[in-house]
Amino acid sequence: LYYVLDKPRISDRQYDALFQELKSLERDHPELITPASPTQRVGEQPRQGAVKAEHGKPMFSLDNTYSQEELAEFDRRVRDGLPQKARFQYVAEPKLDGASVEIIYQNSVLYRGITRGDGRVGEDVTENIRTIRSLPLTIDESRPLTLRGEVVILSRDLQAINQERSAQGEEPFANPRNAASGSLRLMDPRLAAARPLRVYLYDLVETYYGTHSAMLDAIEKLGLPTHGLHEVCRDLDALFRYIDAFRERKRDLPYETDGVVVKVDELNHREILGYTARFPRWAIAFKYAAEQATTEILEIDCDVGRTGALTPVAITTPVFLSGTTVSRASLHNIDYVNELQLGIGDRVTIEKAGEIIPQVVKVVDVAHREPWKPPARCPACGSRVERSKNEVALRCPNPACPGRLKAAIRYFAHRSAMDIDHLGRALVEQLVDHGFIRDIADVFLLPDKRSELLELERMGEKSVDNLITAIEQARGERSFQQLLTALGIPLVGAVAAGIVAKKYRSLDRLLKVPDDELREALAEMHGIGPKIAESIAGFLADPKQRRVLEKLVELGVRTVDVDPSPTVGMGPLQGLSFCITGVLSRPRREIEGDISRAAGQVHDRVKKGTTYLVAGEKVGASKLNTAKKHGTKVISESELNAMLAGVR
Ligand code: IVH
């Protein structure tokens, strides 16, 4: 409900409480743990190197087209390849930009995940695939399913990951595709679990359904994650209409797409059309040209980051680009500006990277002027900027710089941190300039200043109320991990914050830990290196920072944390008894072991009170008769598997 349909029926808090309850049940009764338990998504053991796995059927790539004409040619080839009177239709669907995988279910249970690799042999990434929360560990279908789809990272999640990487001094991922494929192949499933991977399935190798569209509908019904955006198109015109509409629609999707895939719907027609060495003849990708616009540079400004780093930004004549009016475009860093030899008045091409942040990609027309020179002073506070040897960035060294404060507030309020909606760039600007906010804790003073806030620019009753509600939520409903992330401690992103939060559970408690004890504890934490440890300890020892933290506590900032409530437990087969007979897919002893681990009883023959007879192949008639006599229900091996997995 939460990950696939986006319609949770319980709150995160209730979910966490249930999860903790399950964990404590399993702690007390380890014999009840089944591989399909949600607690078992994340394995403890690193993968054993890159283990190869062969695909049952090769995974093909797709040919690309970039224009209506090319697509019309594809349509002609399809028509020529099919018998004259053949009636057929197309399906159009998004081309997701991630890493392709094969995911296999056997006996209703998620069994295996394999990367595409070279199309014939990939890498076994089952352990990492299991960490994808949108992917059910068990399904209500006992036939084998060999599914294919795309593992992606949502655009907003990528932003947070990249923030984390920058905080750790690591290179951010250039695009969601690299992020997805890098994460999928991580050796430690615990690290993979920290990456919010999603998967969207778009293919089933088994031909249970006559058409692609029927297959997509069927797997969606099973609760498997699909993109849900396919449409049947009867002819070329309908395809063009889909492609046109999708140009707009894709902007609102939470993940990146790089075009539309067109497929022949009927599986029997696909067989007739066949494959070239690399591509199917029944499918093709339509790719949109990157949307670009030409505009003029009016000014080059520098944005001040919370660490003081200056990032050059081009202020341009407003132009319309992929759905929004753009008047600022990123220039990455000073070296990039120098490389382009950029100057005021130049005409440049801008492009949206990942459809979000526009950036300058090239100069088309040079104005007669001097190339731009980086500022010698911080544009926000006038301090002399510094450039350290190994860095591309220029820095403002002034810790009290209002530009740095503004960036720190934006970081504090960011989705991946305290998640305070309505505290956008323009408002932060005003709040700092008018002296409402002098440090991050001051955000929590704002609800008491309703009438003053109403006097700010573009702040009506409604916006002020929205802001206050958002701040009140942040005051009482964020996790300690979010709060720790939000502080912007150098090198500490969400992952490191999570590790520390788990140990100390609240800011109040963390502040009471003596310095030497803290340093000792940090040194022993798995996942906290010496540099991060030093940064955290140094931050907490700094009297100025401590004052801000104490102020947060005084202002009533309370984080939520779920207490594991120990309760007495049962296995999924508690109170049930089973007798096994016939030829099964694995040794009987193994199955019996699974039943008792799930708290079920094993009877060696059907007797009065035996709940189920698990019948494999070639079951004798006498067994079935005895079962009938005692009212014992006869079930298949896959029904048993589903019960073992906790599905009834
Ligand atoms: S169909 C033989 N459908 O694009 C059929 N592929 O450029 C091949 N991709 O390797 C796959 N979205 O990773 C298909 N809706 C979609 C897709 C899709 C993304 C990827 C896939 C494939 C690559 C080919």
Q: Find the 357 Cα to ligand 1 centroid distance in Å.
A: 26
Q: In this predicted structure, what is the pLDDT of residue 2?
A: 81
Q: What is 567-635 written as a DSSP string? A: -----TTTT-EEEEESB-SS-HHHHHHHHHHTT-EE-SS--TT--EEEE-BS--HHHHHHHHHHTPEEE
Q: What is the pLDDT of residue 565?
A: 29
User: Which of 282-286, 311-315, 560-564 has the weakest average pLDDT?
Assistant: 560-564
Concatenating the DSSP letter of every residue in 337-385 gives HHHHT--TT-EEEEEEETTTEEEEEEEEE--SSPPP---SB-TTT-PBP
Please check whether residue 608 is in contact with residue 625, taking contact to mean a CB–CB distance below 8 angstroms. no
Residue 283 near ligand 1, beta carbon < 6 Å: yes
Contact between residue 113 and residue 125 where contact means Cβ atoms under 8 Å apart: yes
The lowest-confidence range among 69-83, 435-449, 563-577 is: 563-577
State the pLDDT at residue 392. Answer: 73
Q: What are the phi and psi torsion angles at 613 (to 5°)?
A: -105, 115
Which atom of ligand 1 lies at the shortest distance from residue 64's CA?
A: 7
CB-based burial, 507-524: b 16+ in 10 Å, e otherwise? bbebeebeeeebbebbee
Residue 362 annotated in active site: no
Which is more confidently placed, 155 or 132?
132
pLDDT at 379: 95
pTM of this prediction exceeds 0.75: no
DSSP per-residue string spanning 551-578: HHHHTT--EE-PPP-------TTTT-EE
Q: Is the pLDDT of residue 568 over 50?
A: no
| Residue bearing tokens 């440890």 | 533
Q: What is the pLDDT of residue 641?
A: 84
Beta-strand pair 283-286/64-65: parallel
CA distance 311 to 329: 11
Ligand 1 mean position, distance from CA 95 (Å): 6
**Ligand 1 pocket residue status of 141, Cβ below 6 Å:** no
- Check if 486 has its Cβ closer than 6 Å to any atom of ligand 1: no
Q: Among 205-209, 289-293, 358-362, which range has the highest average pLDDT?
A: 205-209
Residue with tokens 């907003």: 156
Q: What backbone phi and psi angles, to 5 degrees, belong to 476?
A: -120, -5
AA letter at 401: C
What is the rounded distance in angstroms from the CA atom of residue 271 to the CA atom of residue 264? 10
Calculate the CA 79 to chain-centre distance.
40
Residue with the larger pLDDT of the pair 596 and 414: 414
pLDDT at 129 over 80: yes
For the chain, give the mean pLDDT.
89
How many C-beta atoms surround the C-beta of residue 198 within 10 A? 23
What digits encode the pLDDT tens for the residues 525-564?
Answer: 887 888 899 999 999 999 999 999 999 999 999 998 643 3
